[in-house]
Amino acid sequence: MSLNTQVGTFVLNSVTGNQSITGLGFTPKIILLFYNNETGNTINPSIQGGHGVALSSSDRRCVGFSQPNNNVPTGGANTLAGHYNDRCIRYCRLNGDTASVREADFVSMDADGFTINILTTDGTQSWISYLAIGGTDLTNVKTGQFVQNTGTGDQAITGVGFQPDCLLFIRGRFTTSAPSSTANSNLRPAWGFAKSASSRGVSITNASGGASSFASKVYQRTTKFISAIKNDSSAIDSEADLKTMDSDGFTITWSTAATAGYVFYVAFKGCNFAISSFNQNTSNGNQSISGFGFQPNAVILVSDNQTTSSSIQANLRQSIGFATDSTHRACAWYGQTDGSALSVNDESLDTANVLEMITEGVIPTTNTVADFVSNDSDGITINNTTTDGTAREILLLAFGQIGGATPIKTLPLLGAGL
């Protein structure tokens, strides 16, 4: 039995055509990606990024979103987000133009990595971070989409082809427009994890431009799997929990449902999964998170940059990090201030840490930085190198090898140009 995992970062080519990412040492079965417009470990104004997933040239999806800094609210016209089922990477423009800046389709999983095809480029480069997973322990994986119910109660999602052990949900836009539709207003990056009716979590955001100011909110729960905030950020629009994993899919239960909207999901079968949450230490130093029941090979960390709460919170801030060991990790952050007459936002990408939490502004403030230390027999250890005394909540999804053997590691992958 085996589970192969690798985190890496590569520079997206600035010309069209195929681009191969090598050095993994195995053939992946799934690639998870996050990206923004950065070309170094920096913090810069404006939000322009997205999330993606790829299994093959016919099974891949991504979400893209953008919001310029120092922008006047125009009913959301310059706050763009889109969801696409025919791309693995897509950047939205910052000026309200719905045309793509950069986009790539997925070509193949290869013996030592994977290949993408750059379809559109503006001639500039940007960093793409990924988590690759392969090996015999991951017996099945599939992506899909569905339109959520407009009423409360159960909704069965079928056509997966197997009974999942774990689910991941991503969203960048909450809309009834079918993928791959043109990007439109309201930025809503979201991540959710679930493996049972008692093991799940979701972190969602919302940014929309009104008549005179921007509404920028976050919402994070460990008792739900899928959520969305209303356009005006005043309340939860829709929310669901996982009910059961079924022979050909899964069933979710809507406790709040109002607007039909597309949901992207990834279904996993095989290997070990752990979903949990923890509050970051309020002082610097190592912090161990345990209770997984196995030694992990890879983790995904997500946070809304807030302390634990069951309410919608002001200020859109979301952090995402991937790690497989102390030299293979990367993280991204983006944030926008709530209620500002001109948009105040920034983004960051860091390939030397697993998590960053920042306050956006003319001079952004770094509140939290954590690096990845180790995969342990029952969890992980991170090192908090920057803290501000606030115990912010972090959601976690871990992948582990059957039998709890020592994680398989490959040589460091620096990526093209890094």
Say if CB 20 and CB 118 are below 8 A apart.
no
The answer to whether residue 216 sits within a structural domain is yes
DSSP secondary structure code for residue 354 in this structure = S
The answer to whether residue 417 sits within a structural domain is no
The answer to whether residue 295 sits within a structural domain is yes
DSSP secondary structure code for residue 291 in this structure = -
Query: Would you state the pLDDT for residue 223?
Result: 95
Give, for 347, the enclosing helix (H) or strand (E): strand 345-350
Q: CB under 8 Å to 153, separation ≥6 — which residues? A: 253, 254
**Alpha-carbon span 173 to 382, nearest angstrom:** 32
SS3 289: strand
Asked if the model's pLDDT at residue 204 lies above 60, the reply is: yes
Asked if the model's pLDDT at residue 272 lies above 70, the reply is: yes
The answer to whether residue 418 sits within a structural domain is no
Residue 409 CB-half CA count within 13 A: 14
Query: Would you state the pLDDT for residue 78?
Result: 72
The answer to whether residue 194 sits within a structural domain is yes
The answer to whether residue 186 sits within a structural domain is yes
Q: Which of 157-166, 174-183, 244-253, 333-342 has the lowest mean pLDDT?
A: 174-183
In tens, the pLDDT along 13-24 reads 999 999 999 999
Domain count, the chain: 1
Q: CB under 8 Å to 290, separation ≥6 — which residues? A: 376, 378, 379
Residue 333 structural domain: 4-400
Q: Average pLDDT over the chain, rounded to whole?
A: 91
DSSP secondary structure code for residue 187 in this structure = B
**Alpha-carbon span 224 to 221, nearest angstrom:** 6
The answer to whether residue 415 sits within a structural domain is no
The answer to whether residue 408 sits within a structural domain is no
In tens, the pLDDT along 287-343 reads 999 999 999 999 999 999 999 999 999 999 999 999 999 999 999 999 999 988 888
Asked if the model's pLDDT at residue 405 lies above 80, the reply is: no
- Tell me how far apart the terminal alpha carbons of the chain are, to the nearest angstrom: 33
Query: Would you state the pLDDT for residue 233?
Result: 74
DSSP class per residue in 103-166: EEEEEEEETTEEEEEEEE--S---EEEEEEEESTTEEEEEEEEEEPPSSSEEEEE---SS--SE
Asked if the model's pLDDT at residue 417 lies above 50, the reply is: no
